[in-house]
Amino acid sequence: MKEMVITRFAPSPTGNLHIGGCRTLLYNWLFAKKYNGKLILRIEDTDLKRSTDAALQNILEGIKWLGLNWDDEIAYQSDNIHRHREIAFQLLKEGKAYKCYCTEEELIKMREEAIKKKKSSFYNNKWRDREPSEQDKNIKPVIRIKTPQGGKTEINDIVQGAVHFENEDLDDFIILRSDESPTYLLASAVDDHDMGITHIIRGDDHLNNAARQHHIFKAMSWKIPEYTHIPLIHSSDGTKLSKRDGALSISDYKSEGFLSKAILNYLLRLGWSYGDKEYFSEDEMIKYFDVKNIHKSPARLDNKKLLSINSYYLNAESEDTIIELISQSKGVGIPIENQEKIKLILEHVKTKSKTLNELIELIEYLLMEYPPIIDSDMMEVLNSEKIKLLEYFHRDLSSVKDWSIQEITHLFEKFTNDQNIKLIDIAKPLRVALTGRIVPTGIYELIYALGKEDTLTRISQHLYK
- The binding site for ligand GLU (CB under 6 A) comprises 10-12, 44, 188, 202, 206
The b-or-e profile of 94-104 (16+ CB within 10 A means b, else e) is eebbbbbbbee
| Pick 38 or 202: Cβ nearer ligand GLU | 202
Minimum CB–partner distance for residue 87 and ligand GLU (Å): 16
Neighbours of 39 (CB within 10 A): 22
Minimum CB–partner distance for residue 195 and ligand GLU (Å): 12
| Pick 6 or 366: Cβ nearer ligand GLU | 6
Contact by Cβ (8 Å): 69, 30: no
Cross-strand pairs, 99: 143
| Pick 11 or 436: Cβ nearer ligand GLU | 11
| Pick 201 or 433: Cβ nearer ligand GLU | 201
C-alpha dist (Å) from residue 416 to 27, 403, 410 = 58, 19, 10
Cross-strand pairs, 41: 9
Minimum CB–partner distance for residue 350 and ligand GLU (Å): 37
Rounded CA gap, 349 and 441, in Å? Answer: 7
Positive or negative, the CA dihedral 282, 285, 291, 295 is: negative
Contact by Cβ (8 Å): 202, 10: yes
| Pick 200 or 262: Cβ nearer ligand GLU | 200
| Pick 26 or 449: Cβ nearer ligand GLU | 26
Cβ within 8 Å of residue 223, ≥6 positions away: 193, 217
Classify 462 as helix, strand or coil. coil
Minimum CB–partner distance for residue 380 and ligand GLU (Å): 53
Minimum CB–partner distance for residue 390 and ligand GLU (Å): 59
Minimum CB–partner distance for residue 139 and ligand GLU (Å): 29
Minimum CB–partner distance for residue 10 and ligand GLU (Å): 4
Rounded CA gap, 394 and 452, in Å? Answer: 10
Q: What is the DSSP string of 1-42?
A: -PPPPEEEE---TTS--BHHHHHHHHHHHHHHHHTT-EEEEE
Minimum CB–partner distance for residue 79 and ligand GLU (Å): 15
Classify 465 as helix, strand or coil. coil
| Pick 21 or 429: Cβ nearer ligand GLU | 21
| Pick 299 or 430: Cβ nearer ligand GLU | 299
Rounded CA gap, 129 and 353, in Å? Answer: 68
Contact by Cβ (8 Å): 404, 448: yes
| Pick 39 or 346: Cβ nearer ligand GLU | 39
Minimum CB–partner distance for residue 189 and ligand GLU (Å): 9
Alpha helices (runs of H) in 104-203, residue ranges in sequence order: 104-116, 184-194
Phi-psi region of 464 (alpha: psi -120 to 50; beta: other; left: phi over 0): left
